[in-house]
Copies of this chain bind each other. A is one copy, B any other.
Amino acid sequence: MHSRDDILAAAAKVFAQHGFRGSTTRRIADAAGVNEITIFRQFGSKEALLREAMQHMTQSVGLVALPDVPADPDRELTLWSESFIQHLRLRSAIIRKTMGEIEERPEMGECASDVPVRASGELCRYLAALRKQGRTGHKFEPKTAAAMLMGAMFSDAMGREMMPDVFPQPQAKAAQMYSRLLLHAIGVENGSSRTTSKQTKRSKQLSA
């Protein structure tokens, strides 16, 4: 019937719309189709409920992996970036709320920072591997380059709706454009290591 997970999902949804203070127990109960009291009996308090909802949500996140040994950087990085920016876009509301309340509720922020930290580590490793292969024309720091690409995608996901004119068009190509710009920045040539025929295979369209 109305399981624990239904309430957690409803809490996450309400939180994404209204933030912590705006997530009244009444609203969450309504969204879950449950009596307000059930929330208190199951979770004890609003704070405990939202904390658990946050953890529940971040634990279910899986990221696309970057290959351990780069073969076709343009294709691989673009795919990875597309999946990452899509992840951010789907969660932009909840990320904004969490960031806005980080001073007052830091534990939620720590929980949410787990995904980008892991993604950054993965991207750094990939870029370092590219450099080790001798495929990069410039000296560069992987961490700086990774921060730049991820930062661009983060800002795009957070700000495009508010300031559409500032970001590249179309939205669906943005991750690719950022990725290619980054590859240029670190001096990686466009072609793949060997096979140019394979790279034309369409990257799957990730909807907005």
Contacts and interface: CB of A to CB of B under 8 A. Distances in A.
Interface of A is mostly: helix
Q: How large is the interface on A (under 10, 10 to 19, 20 to 34, 35 or more residues)?
A: 35 or more
Given A155-B151, A187-B184, A144 B168 contact: yes
A166 B117 contact: yes
A205 B152 CA distance: 25
Q: Which of A22, A150, A153, A184 has the most CB of B within 10 A?
A: A184
A187 B174 CA distance: 20
Contacts of A162: 102, 109-110, 113
Contact of A166 (B19, B97, B102, B147): B147
Q: Which of A19, A103, A147 has the most CB of B within 10 A?
A: A147
Contact of A19 (B100, B147, B159, B185): B100
A145 interface: yes
A186 interface: yes
B156 A155 contact: no
Interface stretch (A36-44, A49-57, A135-143): A135-143
Contacts of A96: 99-100, 102
A80 B101 CA distance: 30
Contacts of A21: 19, 21-22
Contacts of A166: 116-117, 120, 143, 146-147, 150
Interface string A102-122: 111000011001001100100
Interface of A: 17-19, 21-22, 93, 96-104, 109-110, 113, 116-117, 120, 138, 140-141, 143-156, 158-159, 162-163, 165-168, 174, 177-178, 181-182, 184-187
Interchain residue pairs A-B with the least CB separation, the first 7: A100-B100, A151-B155, A185-B185, A151-B152, A144-B168, A148-B152, A120-B166
11 contacts: A17-B103, A19-B19, A97-B100, A113-B162, A117-B166, A120-B166, A138-B184, A145-B181, A147-B152, A148-B148, A151-B153
